[in-house]
Structure 1
């Protein structure tokens, strides 16, 4: 009884402290735009019936009605309604600086996207990196948006943790430290010269904020995928979900050379939290050689960041058994890592199935806007193998390959590939993860894995 009493008192004290330090503040007085300023485009913002109403204007860039004050850690809520479907968003922790593209607004945005792709609630970085959290990463939230009705958005920012909610549904979860504070803004998206889109309206109401809120209360049942952009880091939510580092960011622990008892003595470098293949002659495993995990995996969710140098070639393989005893790179299913523009391998194979993100020599990666970043920039790769043998390749939050190990289509693809000579290629119950040495300088970081059941 005493323990329960003490616990109850603790909760009560925490609640009292929380109430004293964090209170809701209205950001809109319902009468005028006091406390707000307009940036970039000249869309019309006005107050009507206790609402802010934004109206599209021809030949204007994106317009933003921004708070005059900057905010760091907060919970923000707003209700909005689109009179007709068009793209919009809520900026947060955003900036406008004279020395950056003449004051162009940049920063995080909670997307308003009623299009068929259903990405409302996702996180986009306006003016810089683009999509940080396309809502394909959380299909459960894609139907939360209510067309033609009022929608409630909630944004939570605590340090590097960013979470969004649409109509009470958890939408995006991002860990990112690029922008610790900035203004909040209501976007009216530019429509170019499309006369049919002129005069479209979006309404906002019940705009409020709570600064310096209490810490997040995580639940082990929250299985919303986390995009973590902090190198070699596992967030608290990822830990609860069973995600762990596959490479610790500092040593060779857990890895060895393919077909070797130890980690290669040359050909690899670990520096400043980055694992790099050193350049040599461009051949397969002719310098340090491939490296593999000491542990084997069956169904899993594998993530890794990679950065190419001009003309470079590498790959991340899975279900590697080392049973083939072949020369060159060890055999396994491969997520291709390649400079498509400068490496000749991109023109070989069939239908582009040797380009970056592809299931090498079998299935070409689908390329869409923002799915592939430039050589010299970090790309985020992901391979998901489900217990029922469905497999997905992802690149920068976009699904680019999907197939099923062992079905008739898979078998037909293997029969026409360079792997047709290997019995039951790629069908092992479990295998190692491999990072390829193809004689070119390629870097990796944030290699993590989650076992799936």
Structure 2
């Protein structure tokens, strides 16, 4: 058996290079290399639609990704972002068209709700009121994950759609059933401008699950300790196990009923409902030492990030926790050991992620945790971030917990194999 394959996030991403994030540029700022179509021109480092402009699409097809771009609307400007476009036909119907529109223009006063900016054309309306004034550059992020599409405009989530649900609601719409295709700008002859276009492929690596057992059945919390205070907060939502961060239980973590010794646990996870998360300065760690990097004056280097925090408790112990968070070091750190100076620097450094491997906030991540004896290995999105690191004194056996630390998040495809 095999595992099938914001907003405020701009401040975090701007502090990392494209190479570190895994983004690639789709537009070189000079010409239309890598694009197919006619009726667009490049000037002043941006792509503009001309009066003859229709569809301008990428050379490559995509399925799971995060797309960032900036756009500028002229008065009454109309364009669109086509996703899952097969290359021919009207992108709004054979794929999906995410509206790019001057909502303030009088000629658009009587449109359907789904036709305004950020709407999935004819399918789902977006929140309005977050466009900058006409003539100013807007920042937009589109996150596409299988059946899920999220649109963030200037730091606000304006649309969040489940395509499977929309397909049931609109059974005659062909495009809503597609899950891959070209990324396309859908011109209507207006001089809408685009720049700083970049994309990150977030297709998750496959994992061989031979010998694994499901930890979540997609219907209930069977196999997990069900404290009455968890009800309505740790929520089975079909494939997804959702946590709203508001459990009323004394112990807000969700623990397995079973205890485990040596195991490999594989699961997908992503942050949810993070629009109001606070920002904090967090240290930039040196993987070689496990300590914060210092500037020329000996002061710890920090980055201001959106504070999102959770983790996986292993063997019933809150010290042996694999962190899920968006600190500069990335997920996978074992904070309870890394910060404990009773352990040698060699031990603490080994429990510091080698590289940050998290996908952007809102996209799914895939993590594999292997604990054998007192040795830990963590693989995140196909990258080994912790390798055979020692956890001195870790209990020999105990339950596993999905940890509460005040952040809403989602889990799916949770599997475990005892070793």
TM-score, normalised to structure 2, is 0.40
Determine which structure has greater relative contact order: mean sequence separation of CA pairs < 8 Å that are 6+ residues apart, divided by chain length.
Answer: 2
Larger Rg: 1
The TM-score normalised by the length of structure 1 is 0.37
